[in-house]
Amino acid sequence: MGQVKVGIIFKSYEPLKAMQAYARQSEESGFGGGFWIAEAYHWFRQYGLEARGCFATLAAVAMATRSIPIGLGITSPYMRHPTIQASECAAIDELSDGRFIMGIGVGKVGIEYLEYDIEKMKPVPVHHESLEIMRRVFSGKQFAYKGELFESSMPAYDRARDGLRTEIPIYVGATGPFMQRLAGRESDGMLLAGLTSPAFVKYARDNMAKGAAQVGRTLPADFPVGGVILAACAKDGAKAKAATRSYTGTYIVNKLRNIKNDTILAGSGLPDSTWDPFRKAIADGTQDKVAHLVTDEMQRRFTVISGTPDECLEITQELVDAGLNLPMLEVVGASQEDNLETIRLFGEQVLPRLRPAAG
């Protein structure tokens, strides 16, 4: 069945030269799942991080690699009109010689500052119409589209004549059951959010299958199901666990304050009272200082991939066996060299030993 595909993902707040170094190392280390960018927002300035444009960052990554997929996981259709998204996609796909995978999702943290009424512009119709329009743009055929939320019309253009793809895969970032069903109905792959436990993978796959069944769609066994997993791999396991601790805390706060998805937290198997100290920190305005609340048990229950290569193998295998066939490692070290070490070590000592899920 071949090697399990694993990807590397960074948020677009890293320096571009560092991104290129990470991408080159990912390709050299055999990460067949590709190198991915998640769009960062200026919200991250509170952590001393500066957002870069996700498409410009992808262009830099495309120029630093030659063979592995280049993915965007994710950007929000609330940020740009679908025709603008499609134009950006077309450029990155051309620059990467057809290696690009588009990913769209709500991006709740990023859009909370925008003047959208998310009750009127609900995520499922927003994403459905975005998928419809982007695919029409990629096709090069003349079209006129008028949905409930978006509309667009374009004359025909022979993209194939120019050597451009007329189909670019679009994955959907899906945290809740309705978006997971949409992914099953319409997407080319589903991407799950941070803190993706085996229990949550199974929950999401079940919803995805229900969505596919609604339209009589049969998904192939290798239909991409990816998930963003915090990762740090080092010979010193304690150092790696320390590196992911504050980021795990940020994800927990995000789930409590912004995403408000109890299913993700419940997937850890820990009682709801576990999160009370985090709720108090949010109420007190100290939510950016919760690393001390994150225990090794919390990280293990959320299958945060941190520790020695042997520990990282055990955790990653659990996720693969649960049905996550595209683990995406969000590498979070204390320095560029630590991040490169995670990519190298994982490539050398974990990837060759990963087994495809049974069945």
> Which CATH architecture group holds 7-239+304-353?
Alpha-Beta Barrel (3.20)
Can you read off the two tokens belonging to residue 32?
A: 């067949």
Other beta carbons within 10 Å of 154: 17
Rounded CA-CA distance 352/179 in Å is 33
φ and ψ of 343, to 5 deg: -65, -45
Can you read off the two tokens belonging to residue 115?
A: 């003047």
**Does residue 43 have a pLDDT over 90?**
no
Instruction: Tell me the HSE value of 135 on the side-chain side, using a 13 A CA sphere.
Output: 12
Helices 123-139 and 82-95 meet at what angle, rounded to 10?
50
- Lookup result for tokens 């595209």: 326
Query: Got the DSSP string for 69-111?
Result: -EEE--B-TTTS-HHHHHHHHHHHHHHTTS-EEEEE---HHHH
Query: Got the DSSP string for 178-238?
Result: HHHHHHHHH-SEEEE-SS--HHHHHHHHHHHHHHHHHTT----TT--EEEEEEEEE-SSHH
Instruction: Give the DSSP H or E segment for 172.
Output: strand 170-173
**Does residue 59 have a pLDDT over 70?**
yes
Write the CA distances from 258 to 143, 172, 175, 255, 262, integer angstroms. 37, 19, 12, 6, 11
Q: What is the pTM of this model?
A: 0.94
Can you read off the two tokens belonging to residue 340?
A: 């490169």
Tell me the pLDDT of the chain averaged across its residues: 94
245, 228, 250, 235: which is closest to 300 by C-alpha?
A: 245
- Please report, for the chain, the start and end positions of each structural domain, with discontinuous segments joined by +: 7-239+304-353
Rounded CA-CA distance 40/280 in Å is 26
pLDDT-above-70 percentage for the chain: 96
Helices 177-186 and 123-139 meet at what angle, rounded to 10?
20
**Does residue 40 have a pLDDT over 90?**
yes
Can you read off the two tokens belonging to residue 223?
A: 């239909």
What pLDDT, in 10s, does the model give residues 252-309?
988 888 766 678 888 889 999 999 999 999 999 999 899 999 999 999 998 999 999 9
pLDDT of 42:
86
pLDDT-above-90 percentage for the chain: 84
pLDDT of 46:
82
170, 247, 299, 175: which is closest to 13 by C-alpha?
A: 247
146, 219, 214, 191: which is closest to 328 by C-alpha?
A: 191
Q: Residues with Cβ < 8 Å from 86, sequence gap 6 or more?
A: 133, 134, 137, 138
Other beta carbons within 10 Å of 60: 16
Q: Indicate the pLDDT class of residue 119, thresholds 50, 70 and 90.
A: confident
pLDDT of 1:
41
Q: Residues with Cβ < 8 Å from 46, sequence gap 6 or more?
A: 288
Q: Are 268 and 252 in contact (CB under 8 A)?
A: no
